[in-house]
Amino acid sequence: MNKLIGTGVALITPFKNDLTVDQESLAKLVKNQIANGINYLVVLGTTAEVATLTKAEKKLVIDTVIKANNSQLPLVLGIGGNNTAALVEELSYEDLSAFEAVLSVSPYYNKPTQEGIYQHYKALSEASPKPIIIYNVPGRTASNVLPATIKRLAEDFHNIIGIKEAAGDMVQAMKLIAMVPEGFLVISGDDMITLPMILAGGHGVISVIGQGFPAEFSEMVKIGLESKVKEAYKLHYKIAPSIDLIFSEGNPAGIKSLLHSKGLCEEAVRLPLMKASEKLKKELSRFVEAF
C-alpha cells in the first residue's frame, strides 16, 4: 500500500456558526491539502467529531470530500466503534468504492483483553471488502493494543495492512516496527513523535497539524523518509510549538482555531467540546503570523 506511505491528514468536519456541516469550507480544506503536498486524506476519523454526526451528515461529509478530491488523493474512511457486530454490519453495506482502506479505532470504553481485541479485528477483517488500518490510541480508548497483538493480526489477516500508532510511546513504537512483517505499515498517530517514528523505520503519519501546515509538515515527512535527518528536524522544531498549542484544549478545537486564523473555516465545535479560549486563539494567531 505505497499510496498510504507519507502524510495522511485526519480531516476536521467544519461547522457553520449554527453548527450545521459547512460543505463549502470542507471542500476548500480538501483542495488546500491537495495543493500543498499531502499524500492522502482520512475522512470521518475521530478528529472529524464523528461521534456527534448523524448518519445523513456522515454521508454529506463523504460525498463532499469525494467530489472536492476528484480522485486526486487516496482516501481512507474511518469506521470504528465498540460494538463489533454493528461494525461488521456497517462494513457489509457501506459503499467503500471510493476508498483505499478503512481506519478502525480499537474498541473504547469496554476495555477488552488482548484476545478480545484480536477477535474484534478478526471479525472486521473477515467482513471488510477493503484493507484495514488499526488505530491504537490508549489515551482515548482506555486499552492499549500491544505490539504482540498487532504482530499476530498482521500475520493472520492479509487485509490488515497497518496501524496508526498513537500511544505516544517511542519504546512501544520501536518494538512494533521491529516485530511486524515486512510491508506492514506503522503510521504515527502522534504529530510530535512522527519524525522519530519515521527515522526508526515507520512509514509516515495520519496527522492533525498537517492540515494546518500541509506544505511544511508533508515536506518534513518526505525528507524524514529519505533519512535527511538534520533538515527534517529543522522543520520539526519549527512546527512543534503549534502541536502543543492545538492539543492544549482538546482536539479538534485547537486545529479549528488555527484553520480559522488562516481563513479556512469557522471555529465552531459541537458539545461536549468547547471552542478554543480567547487566550489560545491569540497564541495560535500569533504563531501563524510568525510562521
Task: For cell 500569533, name the residue.
Answer: 286
Could you say which DSSP state residue 53 is in?
Answer: -
Q: What is the Cα–Cα distance from 121 to 150, expressed in whole angstroms?
A: 10
Residue 140 Cα distances to 8, 12, 108, 147, 246, angstroms? 20, 17, 7, 18, 17
Closest residue by Cα to residue 198 from 175, 179, 223: 223
Residue 222 Cα distances to 37, 40, 171, 199, angstroms? 10, 13, 23, 11
Query: Residues 121, 130, 135, 222: which is the catalytic one?
Result: 135
135 is catalytic: yes
Bridge partners (DSSP) listed for residue 207: 9
Query: Residues 164, 222, 256, 281: which is the catalytic one?
Result: 164
| Residues known to be catalytic | 135, 164
